[in-house]
């Protein structure tokens, strides 16, 4: 284990521990009764669930320990969503108490009031987490009609389906992969795109969930293509590419392919790839240097950064993901500040960008403020303006 990884784990555990300590001292008014003490014990068990699951995974648990690890992962992951809103509630309490000390018209919070606040708050947070867990499993289809230039003598149209951020793993199991494949086939696509983060952390886990076997059932006459995401590199990009190949899908890694004699498809290495395995990302101009010039270009680029590069080369369409649109409110406000476009359509010059909020989840299997999506692209090719 390198020093960089040790430092990262130390920082994450420190933040996790301090956040939970901050929450715990605010819940203290609840803990004076027998029921309150039971709540405190339950909270502690939830706090340690996720770290314990990671430890079991690290030592390569098998048999019964694997089931225990999976259970702890589920408990701990849902707790992460609970922790997020419990932290905000604790912060709200402190802000209110600060202003109450400044302005006499605001009533002070005594122990009874604080206990009542947390009883009500915990009920609301649990309701939000349950709703978010249900919402995360109900994808919608987003339909986009895209006009594509064409140098041919006649117009035509194609149907493409794009999915980003599957995150096959603990919460994207075999049954959900099968549901996704069935939903894709119901849209009768000519071609299918997977825009990165196909797996979550482990290729072996994805194989156990039958990733290749299920994706092989996709019916798309012009093929299935993928680009790499940061999680694919973290899990092992070569193994992910091999698994996709077994499914009959082609991963484009800074490569292009002419699809259906209609458009040129480019798959980019992810912008974060070098952090995980030292992969080098080529400039888009270098990838297109030897490409045929008579086709409109569609780019699959998982992380939506450096958008001006595609716009400067008159790419017709770029599809991205990665952001999850924050996944849990109010983190969408943060992703909106970090990325030029966190979710939806953006037009720059002659280029249309669509950033998907993704199909799966990362961390908590909860979505609040975003809905998982499958993108249906009606690509309409017309004569290029001369």
Rounded to the nearest 10 degrees, what angle do helices 64-102 and 3-27 cross at?
60
Q: Domain check: are 14 and 55 in the same one?
A: yes
- Residue 386: its pLDDT value, please? 44
- Residue 153: its pLDDT value, please? 44
Helix (H, G, I), strand (E, B) or coil at 237: helix
Domain of 20 in residue numbering reads as 3-135
How far is 252 from 267, CA to CA, in rounded Å?
Answer: 4
Q: Are 90 and 60 in contact (CB under 8 A)?
A: no
Q: Domain check: are 158 and 25 in the same one?
A: no
How far is 143 from 272, CA to CA, in rounded Å?
Answer: 29
Q: Domain check: are 128 and 178 in the same one?
A: no
Q: Domain check: are 147 and 195 in the same one?
A: yes
Examine the fold and report which residue of 106, 135, 164 is the final residue of a domain before the chain moves on.
135
Q: Domain check: are 205 and 316 in the same one?
A: yes
Q: Domain check: are 88 and 152 in the same one?
A: no
How far is 84 from 39, CA to CA, in rounded Å?
Answer: 18
Neighbours of 256 (CB within 10 A): 20
Rounded to the nearest 10 degrees, how much is the dihedral formed by the CA atoms of 47, 48, 51, 54?
-120
- Residue 48: its pLDDT value, please? 92
H-run or E-run covering 299? strand 297-300
Q: Domain check: are 158 and 197 in the same one?
A: yes
Examine the fold and report which residue of 135, 160, 187 is the final residue of a domain before the chain moves on.
135
State the total domains in the chain. 2
Examine the fold and report which residue of 135, 157, 173 is the final residue of a domain before the chain moves on.
135
301 to 191, 193, 194: CA distances (angstroms): 17, 11, 10
Q: Domain check: are 116 and 149 in the same one?
A: no
CATH code at position 332:
3.60.21
Pairing mode, if any, of strands 317-320 and 351-355? parallel
How far is 30 from 287, CA to CA, in rounded Å?
Answer: 61
| Nearest by Cα to 72 from 57, 84, 87 | 57
Q: Domain check: are 156 and 49 in the same one?
A: no
Q: Domain check: are 123 and 266 in the same one?
A: no
Q: Domain check: are 95 and 167 in the same one?
A: no
- Residue 2: its pLDDT value, please? 55
Q: Which residues contact 368 (CB under 8 A, 6 or more apart)?
A: 81, 128, 131, 132, 135, 327, 328, 329
The token pair that represents 256 in the structure block: 């292009």
pLDDT in tens, the chain (386 residues): 456 657 777 888 899 999 999 999 998 877 778 887 888 888 999 999 988 888 887 776 566 777 788 889 999 999 999 999 999 999 999 999 999 999 988 898 888 898 889 999 999 999 999 999 999 999 999 999 999 887 654 558 999 999 999 999 889 989 999 999 999 999 999 999 999 999 998 888 888 888 999 999 999 999 999 999 999 998 999 999 999 999 999 999 999 999 998 999 999 999 988 887 777 899 999 999 999 988 999 999 999 999 999 999 999 999 999 999 999 999 999 999 999 999 999 999 999 999 999 999 999 999 998 999 999 999 998 755 54
Tally of CA atoms within 13 A in the half-sphere of 206 that contains its CB: 26
Q: Domain check: are 332 and 211 in the same one?
A: yes
How far is 20 from 14, CA to CA, in rounded Å?
Answer: 10
Q: In what order do the strands lie in the sheet with 297-300?
A: 255-259, 263-267, 297-300, 317-320, 351-355, 344-348
- pTM score, two decimals? 0.91
């Amino acid at each position: 284990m390198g020093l960089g990884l040790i430092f990262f784990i130390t920082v994450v555990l420190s933040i996790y521990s301090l956040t939970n300590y901050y929450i715990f001292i605010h819940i203290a008014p609840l803990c004076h009764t027998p029921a309150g003490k039971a709540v405190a014990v339950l909270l502690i068990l939830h706090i340690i669930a996720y770290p314990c699951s990671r430890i079991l995974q690290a030592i390569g648990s098998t048999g019964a320990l694997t089931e225990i690890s999976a259970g702890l992962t589920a408990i701990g992951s849902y707790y992460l969503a609970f922790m997020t809103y419990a932290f905000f509630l604790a912060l709200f309490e402190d802000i209110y108490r600060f202003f109450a000390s400044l302005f006499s018209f605001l009533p002070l919070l005594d122990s009874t009031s604080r206990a009542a606040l947390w009883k009500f708050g915990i009920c609301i947070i649990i309701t939000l987490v349950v709703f978010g867990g249900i919402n995360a499993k109900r994808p919608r289809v987003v339909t986009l009609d895209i006009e594509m230039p064409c140098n041919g003598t006649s117009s035509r149209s194609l149907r493409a389906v794009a999915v980003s951020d599957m995150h096959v793993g603990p919460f994207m199991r075999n049954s959900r992969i099968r549901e996704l494949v069935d939903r894709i086939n119901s849209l009768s696509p000519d071609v299918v795109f997977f825009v990165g983060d196909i797996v979550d952390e482990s290729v072996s886990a994805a194989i156990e969930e039958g990733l290749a076997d299920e994706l092989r059932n996709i019916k798309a006459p012009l093929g299935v293509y993928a680009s790499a995401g940061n999680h694919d590199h973290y899990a092992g990009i070569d193994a992910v590419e091999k698994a996709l190949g077994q499914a009959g899908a082609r991963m484009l890694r800074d490569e292009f392919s002419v699809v259906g004699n209609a458009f040129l498809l480019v798959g980019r290495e992810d912008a974060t790839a070098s952090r995980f395995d030292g992969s080098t990302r080529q400039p888009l101009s270098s990838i297109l240097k030897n490409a045929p010039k008579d086709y409109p270009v569609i780019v699959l680029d998982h992380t939506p950064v450096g958008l001006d590069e595609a716009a400067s080369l008159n790419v017709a369409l770029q599809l991205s993901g990665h952001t999850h649109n924050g996944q849990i409110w109010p983190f969408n406000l943060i992703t909106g500040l970090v990325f030029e476009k966190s979710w939806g359509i953006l037009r720059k010059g002659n280029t249309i960008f669509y950033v998907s909020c993704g199909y799966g989840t990362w961390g908590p299997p909860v979505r609040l403020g975003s809905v998982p999506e499958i993108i249906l692209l009606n690509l309409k090719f017309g004569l290029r303006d001369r």
